[in-house]
Amino acid sequence: RDFSFPNMTSVISRQLYGTNFSFYTKDEIRKLSVKQITNPVAFDDLNRPLRGGLYDPELGVSPYDKHSTCVTCGLDGLQC
């Protein structure tokens, strides 16, 4: 089977001429990675993590939680 496009120029609307990568500075990493814990209670009555608690969903998904997605990045526990 041939999966190639018959007229490739009609599919590509823009051409990329380059890309640039950089690293975060120490200060940028610290700003992105800090989450203040403000709630002394970690879980609600149904054993769900509370915002501002030690297991705040914004800190990522537990590797033991197979059903939730991260509220920050939207990925599951294995990819977050």
DSSP 57-68: GGG---TT-SS-
The set of residues, in sequence order, having a beta carbon less than 8 Å from that of 30 and lying 6+ positions away, is none
Overall pTM surpassing 0.85 (yes/no): no
Query: Residue 69 burial by CB count (10 A; 0-12/13-18/19+): exposed, middle or buried?
Result: middle
Six-digit token string for 57: 């969903």
pLDDT for residue 3 is more than 60 = no
27 vs 68, higher pLDDT = 27
Q: What is the pLDDT of residues 11-31, one digit of tens each?
A: 666 777 899 999 999 999 888
Alpha helices, H only, the chain? 8-11, 26-33
